[in-house]
Amino acid sequence: MQTITTAAELRHALEHARKSGKRVGFVPTMGYLHDGHMALVEASRARGDITVVSIFVNPTQFGPNEDLDSYPRDFLRDEQLCRDAGVVILFASEVCEMYPSGFETFVDPGELAKPLCGAFRPGHFRGVATVVSKLFNMVQPDVAFFGQKDFQQCAIVRRMAIDLNLPIEIVTVPTVRETDGLAMSNRNRYLADEERRRALAISRGLFAAADKFHSGERGVENLIAVARDQIITVDRLQYLALVDNLTLQPLEGSVRRTSALCVAAYIGSTRLIDNVILPLPTES
Ligand code: AMP
């Protein structure tokens, strides 16, 4: 595995790698890798792609009062995990190369960035779309892998790839969870033991609603109420919404298309997000 820190070196290394005729699979991350990230790497490896992982804690997607400075980092451990997992190139750009002085061009996502997390994290998805498109331009992957845990991010990146004519297949990988159901996230490490136990209300609520859905319930309010029964115990609920899988607009009445039940909630001062997909054939 090669660890690379500049776009120029990356281009050179990729030219060489592409000569093997293989496709390039790309996994963008902010590092401090866990099994959720590694599932994306495995998905890329399983397709026989040359796997490129990036690690970049992107300042433009953090709000002024968010955890940019305290965001966990352990580069050497990440490097070892990538090496062991068969990653071919680990790309760790510096902030000063990603955003050199004078940088002023951003990618601004539209309606998809407005609901859910977008309503509470102004500018977040603008930062995400900007860095992902910059990374796409640097890596020029054939396929890129994103986790379903960041459901709105997946929708925005898919839309961006279409709108900006990026010849990149976007693959969504299911959320990897701890054995008790908590969605893996770097932010879980902020939770004290007692908070960690209470955080389970989030996945339990989502699973209870999904069970209800799979046993035939289609009423939007009823499904949300089932989840809310459990999730009510969080310290602060930002949103609990049943939205259309593609438009991310809230559903009313009954579920007639594939949808997603999405939640963002605080346990103590830690903000956690999670979701479940409620699948339905489009026409039903
Ligand atoms: P992050 O480092 O948090 O920006 O995440 C990098 C990528 O890993 C994103 O596509 C995330 O959606 C994905 N990811 C993070 N946590 C999980 C998880 N628990 N399961 C699956 N994918 C995840």
Burial readout 226-250 (b: 16 or more C-beta within 10 A, e: otherwise): bbbebbebbeeebbbbbbbbeebeb
Task: Give the active site residue among 34, 37, 124, 214.
Answer: 37
C-alpha of residue 91 to centroid of ligand 1, in Å: 17
Q: What is the pLDDT of residue 175?
A: 98
Helix ranges (H only) for the chain are 7-18, 35-46, 75-84, 95-98, 117-120, 124-139, 151-163, 193-214, 220-231
Number of separate domains in the chain = 2
Does 283 map to a domain? Answer: no
Q: Do 158 and 247 sit in the same domain of this protein?
A: no
Is the CB–ligand 1 distance for residue 39 below 6 Å?
yes
**Do 70 and 102 sit in the same domain of this protein?**
yes
Last residue of a domain, one of 151, 173, 195: 173
User: Which of 119, 150, 173 is the last residue before a domain boundary?
Assistant: 173
Question: Does residue 40 sit in the same domain as residue 165?
Answer: yes
Does 12 participate in catalysis according to the annotation?
Answer: no
Q: Going by CA atoms, what residue is nearest to atom 17 of ligand 1? A: 36
107 lines ligand 1 (CB under 6 A): no
Tell me, yes or no, whether 7 lies in a domain.
Answer: yes
**CA of 173 relative to ligand 1 center, distance in Å:** 9
Q: Does residue 178 form part of some domain?
A: no
What sign does the dihedral 66-230-154-34 (CA atoms) show? positive
CATH at residue 21: 3.40.50.620
106 and 241 share one domain: no
Task: Please work out whether the CB of residue 184 comes within 6 Å of at least one atom of ligand 1.
Answer: yes
Same domain as 217, residue 160: no
Tokens of 267: 């346990």
Give dist(CA 37, CA 114) in Å, integer. Answer: 26
Looking at the domain assignment, is residue 209 inside a domain? yes
- Give domain status of residue 193, yes or no: yes
Question: Is the beta carbon of 146 within 6 A of some atom in ligand 1?
Answer: yes
Is there a domain that residue 34 lies in? yes
Q: How many whole angstroms from 146 Cα to the centroid of ligand 1?
A: 7
> Does 134 lie in the same domain as 263?
no
Domain that holds residue 92: 2-173
Residues 156 and 271 in one domain: no
Give domain status of residue 180, yes or no. no
Say which CATH number the domain at 208 has: 3.30.1300.10
Looking at the fold, whether 134 and 221 belong to one and the same domain comes out as no
Cβ of residue 124 lying under 6 Å from some atom of ligand 1: no
Of 3, 25, 14, which is closest to residue 168 (Cα–Cα)? 25
- Answer whether 49 contacts ligand 1 (Cβ < 6 A): no
pLDDT of residue 282: 61
CA–centroid distance, residue 35 to ligand 1 (Å): 9
234 and 261, same domain (yes or no): yes
Q: Which of 173, 201, 220 is the last residue of a domain?
A: 173
What does each of the 284 residues of the chain score in pLDDT, given as a tens digit?
Answer: 999 999 999 999 999 888 888 899 999 999 999 999 999 999 999 998 899 999 999 999 999 999 999 999 999 999 999 999 999 999 999 999 999 999 999 999 999 999 999 999 999 999 999 999 999 999 999 999 999 999 999 999 999 999 999 999 999 999 999 999 999 999 999 999 999 999 999 999 999 999 999 999 999 999 999 999 999 999 999 999 999 999 999 999 999 999 999 999 999 999 999 999 999 976 44
d(CA 217, ligand 1 centre) in Å: 30
